[in-house]
Structure formats: C-alpha cells, structure tokens
Amino acid sequence: MIMDVPLIYLKGKKAYTRRLGTLKPMGSAIKIAKRLKERLGTELVHIVDLDALKGKKTNYDVYDHLTFTMYVQVEVQPDPKLIKPLLDIDARVVIELPAKKLDLKQFEDKKRLIVGKITPRFRGSLDEVYDVYLDGESPSKLQELLRKKKRVFVNRDQNKKSDKVFGRIGPPEL
C-alpha cells in the first residue's frame, strides 16, 4: 500500500499549503496535524520549514509536540545545528542532495531518519540516506532507486504509473 503524505509549509509556527505558487494559511500547525490524524488517519506528514531553510529554529518546539502525534519529516537547511535537534526527537530530516558542505556520516546512528531529496538529474551517492524523495517526473530514475532498494517518496502528481513507491507527497485534502 502506498502511503499518502500531506505536505505542509511552516512559518512562524503556522501551517500553510501552497496553491499555484502562493502560500495559503491553514492555522496552527499542531491543530492541523491533529486534524490530519483524526480525519485522514495520517501517519506521516512532510513539512517544508521555511524558517529552518533560512537557518532559524523558530518552529522546533512545534516538532516536539508533533512527534507525539505522528511521524514528521522536515525539510531544513543542510546544517548540523538544524539537523541534530530534529534527530534527537526522532523527527525525520529531509536534506536536499548533494549537500556539499555537510558530511552525512556524522549522523550514521540515525541514518534511518535521514531522507535525501533529489531531482531526476542527481548522480551522486545515496549511501548515507535511508529514504529518497524524488522531486520530479522520471520513471528511469525511479526504477534506478527501486533497484537500489531505497524507499522512495514522490510528488503526488508525478510518477503516477508506479505502484512501487513508498509514499506520495502532496497538499492535504482536508
């Protein structure tokens, strides 16, 4: 069974969804997560932390609450100061690859919580990540990842022909 993974954006502790390139407010991130769990049975939510992508930990107390409700995977800047606190609370961390200035080996003991975000053109190593988020349409790259025994997340509206992906990421349908 393919997991449906809601995608929300966080900024200043508030949740947003993106429609046609514009952020639309949804409300409190904690309340939205609880609603996703209750209404849809959501087990995992994908969060793009707009503050953490700028190097700020504004939303980190929110993740402490969310990890008691469900699994979260958070996109952040490839900076150990942002990654380690999330791993310490068992949040999954999404890092855009290649992360040139970051040695992912330092997180070897938490490798199962590291998700590598790649585009179809990515040619580097995926040895240091457990799961992969393929951000873009590419049946050939998807097959390559599946041959490497990676659990693969894709965007909900891409790679639709494959029933072998682990999860499809997209806006929540509340």
Q: Which two tokens stand for residue 23?
A: 């952020």
pLDDT of residue 130: 93
Cα separation, 88 vs 25, in Å, equals 29
pLDDT at 160: 84
Contacts of 61 (CB under 8 A, 6+ apart): none
How open is the CA angle 164-66-54, to the nearest 5 degrees? 85
With beta carbons less than 8 A apart as the criterion, state whether 6 and 42 touch. yes
What's the confidence (pLDDT) of residue 1?
A: 86
Q: How far apart are CA 137 and CA 157, in angstroms?
A: 9
Which residues lie below 8 Å from residue 10, measured CB to CB, with a gap of 6+? 16, 29, 47, 48, 49, 50, 51, 59, 62
Domain containing residue 72: 3-170
Q: Determine the pLDDT at residue 161.
A: 83
- CATH number for the domain spanning 16: value is 3.20.20.70
Q: Which helix (H) or strand (E) holds 14?
A: strand 14-19
Cα(3)–Cα(104) distance, integer angstroms: 26
Number of structural domains (the chain) is 1
Regions of the chain where pLDDT drops below 70:
none
Find tokens 């790679």 and name the residue. 159
User: Which pLDDT belongs to residue 92?
Assistant: 97
